[in-house]
Amino acid sequence: MLTAYEAMTAELLEACGVDFILVGDSVGTVLLGYPSVTEVTMDEMIHHAKAARRGAKKAWVVGDLPYKGRNKGPRHALESAKRFVEEAGCDAVKVEWGKDTPLITDLLVKHRIPVMGHTGLTPQTAKEQGGLKVQGRDAASAVRIFREARFFEERGVFSVLLECVPVPVAKAITGTLVVPTIGIGAGPHCDGQVLVFQDLAGLFKKFTPRFVKRYVDLEPLVKRAVQGYVRDVKAGRFPEPKHGFSMEKEEEARFHRWASKR
């Protein structure tokens, strides 16, 4: 699983064999310039989810239920989840552990909306967890995460995402659950993995989590390309004749006769 927030990236990821495309609320910090994912609105999520769906024809598209899509209670969360499915064409909705999560999960499953649970580090409530850092390093918090994962499975989710938890905790949860786990900063024993595409591609560098593997560093390549464009335009080297379009001589003459009279 990788994130995509628009059609071009979603189409590319699907062509490369990605099974799940997550339209994450990380769009807020990665693309929209917000300081926190909690600033993302439901309308913004729908806009990006619809775009990703247009690009991905076969891969499962998962809409990430944002804070502002659930902060008014379970019924609000249900309406938001329905928008992901009905308006954006998403196949499923991801729900972070937080306030009202048990009721929200029950409601969504009752209405036959496929749910991916999310426990461990939950960015929407990171301030309450002490910031964006590993969760479950002590036995008590590890037990809590284990129980939250079990709760999700018992309530009928199809998968559980484990974020930033110690490897032994993720391994134990994965070995216990019947539904698959998806890891991000949770080690190699999960059934699947997810990363933010811009992290993988070296396009987002405001911060780089330890769990990110950068497979290519596109930022300097893009910068060189844009700088080359700027130089060529200012020096008159672009566009060249080969980048332009011509007219039939007779039509060009008729046009100039008309223009000269204006």
Q: So which residues are the catalytic ones?
A: 163
Count of C-beta atoms within a 10 Å radius of residue 71: 15
How many angstroms from the chain centroid is the CA of residue 184?
13
Residue 109: exposure state from Cβ atoms within 10 A (0-12, 13-18, ≥19): middle
Is residue 155 within 8 A of residue 179, CB to CB? The reply is no
Cα separation, 128 vs 122, whole angstroms:
10
What is the number of H-type helices and E-type strands within the chain? 10, 8
Cβ contacts of residue 22 below 8 Å, gap of 6+? 1, 2, 3, 4, 62, 64, 94, 194
Cα separation, 89 vs 78, whole angstroms:
15
